[in-house]
Amino acid sequence: MKLPWLKPALEDAGPFVSVHLDTTRTDPSAATELTTRWNQCRSRLSSAGVADDLLEDIADTVLSPSSIGGRHGRAIIASPREILLDRVLPVPPREDAAAFGDAPVLLPLLQLTPYAVSQLLIEVDRAGADLHLRAPENPVIARSRNDIEGESSVDGGHDELHKASVGGGAQHGWRARNFDARVEDSWERNAEAVAQKVDALVVKHKPDMVLLTGDVRATALLKDALGQEARARLQVVSGGTRGVSMERASFREELERVTREFIEKRQRQLADQFHENQRRVTDSLAGVDEVRQALERGQVDELLFVVGQEPEGIEELIRQAIATDAGVSALEEGIASIPEGIGALLRWRDEATPSNELSSMTDDPRREDAVDPDRDDRTPHEREEDAIRG
């Protein structure tokens, strides 16, 4: 995952204040607990020498109620003078953390990259659609919260929407069929108007997912009218109605399900890409020393680490990756097996590139096994199913 929004904050001379908090506010007790946890963080930062004025600014940020519902968190990076980065997290950090030092603490933020999913929700009917853009730093889809340049609705402008009732003789039947044809044409033209707006938003914002819900007929027409880039991201979500989808618990649950499936699929694809490159000894590396050398040479396209298995010095490796415009992605435990918990997908490879071939890893069985092309990567459940199939 590319992180251009993070790089400017790292260019400050520092020192840096880093705060990562669970800012969930589901009930009054949660708000009270948040205040208590923040006060503990504030006390540690004050003892470390952070100015009271800056701590007050951070407190105003983390304690102010937001429109975001459900579980979420907040990450703040600040210099002694000002807040450099204020990021809403789609899920809470693994644990609250506060630090003051020469370099910012980034790991708690980047451990959550699997959950950073941008989405465009389309609630469609035969007259048009309501559009809602959700970015990873604004993890909410709500009618009152919209980031599409002040526009949330598209109406096609063709208002022949309801077909005629049949009856009344041949002449009436001919007129009804003619009217019905105009209605069908209105639906199609309205869908084309919505598709034009959606395609433009997809090109500009590059959402990970385009979520479509609403009237069945309008949904089908819009699917046919969308461009290739939007269709490649498209996921139909059942149970929605224009203007009221997010008010339905059943729809919100379905939305959570398809989002969870997308996250799991993206994690598997990233792990599969890494493992396949390791088997072919192509554009990937694993291990702290190998990855560090590749970062120093500007070879890393994507830095990968396994959550809970991060090596010592991970913060420095993350900063090197961001400084060289490499992406950074976390893989949940059990998704990938990477020596020393750190790996990289490379931009290029040459003769000086460190190797993960087995001959270079002798006397380190754990690292040998992690890149062994003959290693069985199946889960116990998959092995059992394969045995049953014979």
How many other C-beta atoms can be found within 10 angstroms of the C-beta atom of residue 338? 26
Q: Say if residue 237 is in the same domain as residue 287.
A: no
Q: What is the pLDDT of residues 274-317, one digit of tens each?
A: 999 988 878 999 999 999 999 999 999 999 999 999 999 999 99
The tally of CA atoms less than 13 A away on the side-chain side of residue 25 is 15
Q: What is the pLDDT of residue 195?
A: 94
Number of domains in the chain: 3
Q: What is the CATH number of the domain that holds 42?
A: 3.30.960.10
The owner of tokens 């002040």 is 150
Given a cut of 90, is residue 366 above it in pLDDT? no
Residues paired with residue 78 on neighbouring β-strands, in sequence order? 17, 83
pLDDT, mean of residues 195-212: 94
In a domain, 258, yes or no: no
Report the C-alpha gap between 216 and 187 in whole angstroms.
12
pLDDT, mean of residues 166-184: 52
Q: Say if residue 240 is in the same domain as residue 134.
A: yes
Q: Say if residue 215 is in the same domain as residue 104.
A: no
> Mean pLDDT, the chain, as a whole number?
84
Query: In this structure, are residues 138 and 87 in contact, taking their beta carbons and an 8 Å threshold?
Result: no
β-pairing, 209-214 vs 119-124, is parallel
In a domain, 314, yes or no: yes
How many other C-beta atoms can be found within 10 angstroms of the C-beta atom of residue 79? 16
Q: What is the pLDDT of residue 173?
A: 52
Q: Say if residue 286 is in the same domain as residue 382.
A: yes
Q: What is the pLDDT of residue 140?
A: 43
Q: At a CB cut-off of 8 Å and minimum separation 6, what does 232 contact?
A: none
Q: Say if residue 177 is in the same domain as residue 234.
A: yes
Element (H, E) at 221: helix 216-225
In a domain, 197, yes or no: yes
Given a cut of 60, is residue 142 above it in pLDDT? no
Report the C-alpha gap between 281 and 371 in whole angstroms.
9
Given a cut of 70, is residue 211 above it in pLDDT? yes
Report the C-alpha gap between 240 and 69 in whole angstroms.
19
Given a cut of 90, is residue 390 above it in pLDDT? no
Query: In this structure, are residues 89 and 74 in contact, taking their beta carbons and an 8 Å threshold?
Result: yes
Q: What percent of the chain has pLDDT over 70?
A: 78
Q: Phi and psi at residue 98, in whole multiples of 5°?
A: -145, 130
Report the C-alpha gap between 316 and 292 in whole angstroms.
9
State whether the Cα torsion 236-240-244-248 is positive or negative: negative
Torsion of CA 324, 329, 330, 332, to 10 degrees: -150
pLDDT, mean of residues 124-150: 63
Q: What is the pLDDT of residue 373?
A: 46
Q: What is the CATH number of the domain that holds 176?
A: 3.30.420.60
Q: What is the pLDDT of residue 379?
A: 44
Q: Say if residue 238 is in the same domain as residue 142.
A: yes
In a domain, 255, yes or no: no
Query: In this structure, are residues 225 and 195 in contact, taking their beta carbons and an 8 Å threshold?
Result: yes
Q: What is the pLDDT of residues 213-243, one digit of tens each?
A: 999 999 999 999 999 999 999 999 999 999 8
Report which of residues 350 and 52 the model is more confident about.
Answer: 52
Given a cut of 70, is residue 361 above it in pLDDT? no
Q: Say if residue 105 is in the same domain as residue 129.
A: no
Report which of residues 57 and 157 the model is more confident about.
Answer: 57
Q: What is the pLDDT of residue 182?
A: 65
Q: ∠108-207-155 over CA atoms, to 5°?
A: 140
Q: What percent of the chain has pLDDT over 90?
A: 62
Q: What is the pLDDT of residues 56-67, one digit of tens each?
A: 999 999 998 766
pLDDT tier at 148, thresholds 50, 70, 90? very low
Report which of residues 288 and 166 the model is more confident about.
Answer: 288
Residues paired with residue 297 on neighbouring β-strands, in sequence order? none
In a domain, 183, yes or no: yes
Q: Say if residue 92 is in the same domain as residue 208.
A: no
CA-based nearest residue to 124, from 197, 67, 68: 197
Given a cut of 80, is residue 135 above it in pLDDT? no
Question: DSSP string of 270-303?
Answer: HHHHHHHHHHHT-SEEESHHHHHHHHHTT-EEEE
pLDDT tier at 185, thresholds 50, 70, 90? confident
Given a cut of 50, is residue 39 above it in pLDDT? yes
CA-based nearest residue to 226, from 162, 163, 154: 154
> 65: domain range?
7-110
In a domain, 231, yes or no: yes
Given a cut of 60, is residue 176 above it in pLDDT? no
CA-based nearest residue to 184, from 166, 158, 165: 158
Query: In this structure, are residues 137 and 88 in contact, taking their beta carbons and an 8 Å threshold?
Result: yes
